[in-house]
Amino acid sequence: MAKLTHFEDGKPRMVDVSEKPATLRVARAEAYVVLPEPAARALAEGGVGKGDPLAVAQLAGLMAAKRTSDLIPLCHPLPLSNVRVDVAFDPEGRRVRIEAEVKTKAETGVEMEALTAASVAALAVYDMLKAAAKGIEIGPVRLLYKSGGKSGTWVRQG
């Protein structure tokens, strides 16, 4: 069983990364927003009074990645070198797919920043479309890829 690094003697702690080398770290995550027919129609027809939900989601994801350490208690604040958030609407599948990629050169990874970006972008889509339908669903939210650091590269299979 893997040792949980954020606990010591049963108490939460921030992991000391001061002795680790700074390396290029990259993480990609995705989130889906499944839309009931009225919300999908509103998005397709541009009938959203608040503005463009996809553009707002993209900006929300970018901002969220930069604020991850403010939201997740044991995350290190990291100097992000790049954040990319792609948001695409599939009208036939009635869903929005969000993919976030985050890069840094640091002592610890950016998985949480990528997951936070994708999650908050999904929440922004929900917020923009909730007036059109109440049954909007978010999920799955998941890590797709991470590279860098001692554990190396990991890629989601399937």
User: Which residues form the catalytic set?
Assistant: 127
First to last CA, the chain: 24
Rounded-to-integer distance, Cα 42 and Cα 19, Å: 52
Strand pairing category for 80-90 and 23-34: unpaired
Contacts of 137 (CB under 8 A, 6+ apart): 33, 34
How many Cα atoms are found within 13 Å in the side-chain-facing hemisphere of 48? 25
Neighbours of 34 (CB within 10 A): 15
Q: What SS3 class is residue 87?
A: strand
SS3 assignment for 3-24: CCCCEECCEECCCCCCCCCCEE
